[in-house]
Structure 1
Amino acid sequence: MDGADMADADGVFEQFWEKLKFPDYFGWNWPALLDCLRDLHWLPADHYMIIVRRSGLLLSSVADERAIFLRTMMRAAEDWVSPQHRRPGGASVPFNVVLFCDDSEVDGLRRELREVGGQ
């Protein structure tokens, strides 16, 4: 995904809907995004990786929603390591999010992630 296409929440929802082939019942809001990311039954895999390039542009027109996006990604990743998603034999299903950004944006992104993660 490209952060330039995700400058607002609608762009985020559209990218996830399109790239992860969300079902028609997707509600186009943050709770619905989290619900779909916690499910993904229509896209079975041994692991999931969300890659956002140019993440400095992600939600650039509504900066307060960046925290919601980051929290949503963290919650989805936490859910995928829970027992309900374990494969036979007890293996968890990795769910990773990679945010590519310019070198000048790394410190700010780290700060945002710490704030959202409560660390």
Structure 2
Amino acid sequence: MAELISQIPAENGGREVFVGLMDGRTMQDWEGVFESFGNTFDFPDYYGRNLNALIECLGDLEWLPFDGYVIVIDSSELLLIREQPDDINYFIEIMTNEVVHYWARPIDLGESWDRSSKPFRILLHQPESTEQVLHPAIASLPFVSC
């Protein structure tokens, strides 16, 4: 894992990037997912630890004013493993459509909350030594081997 993290530059072309490290072993159910995101991103006290609150907080991040965001989930083969089989599909869909794509679009309305587009990446890491097979929803994603 340390080798993977060392390959993620903290700065990219003068842009500061937030790198959040998460552990799939603590994200085996929704409660763990909500807790991990809240802790990693230092969500405000009003964070409700539910899916709507997660999306809302990840769409704000004014308290973490970086030029881009990277989440690394180690042991990702365990992500939501204690939930319904389709929950991992739903998680990936939500993170892609509501978070990654949201940050990819600039906001230019002439308002104080305008911002340029920002990269938001999620890296799912599975140790080579594991015998656990990735969920098909994760295995079907485009990936880069590290």
**CA distance, structure 2, for counterparts of residue 106 and residue 10 of structure 1:** 21
Partner of residue 126 from structure 2, selected from 97, 101, 116: 101
Count of residues in Structure 1 that have an aligned counterpart in Structure 2: 109
RMSD of aligned Cα (Å): 2.0
Matched, 1:28 2:53: no
Counterparts in 2 of 1:79-94, with a 5 A limit? 79-84=102-107, 86-87=115-116, 92-94=117-119
Unaligned stretches of 5+ in structure 2? 1-21, 108-113
Identity across matched positions, percent = 39
Higher relative CO (Cα under 8 Å, sequence separation at least 6) belongs to: 1
Matched, 1:12 2:33: yes
If the length of structure 2 is used for normalisation, what is the TM-score?
Answer: 0.67
More helix by share: 1
If the length of structure 1 is used for normalisation, what is the TM-score?
Answer: 0.81
Deviation at 1:68, TM superposition (A): 2.1
| Larger Rg, first or second structure (1 or 2) | 2
**Structure 1 segments of 4+ aligned residues over 4 angstroms from their partners:** none
Deviation at 1:110, TM superposition (A): 2.6
CA contact (8 A) 2:24 2:77 kept: yes
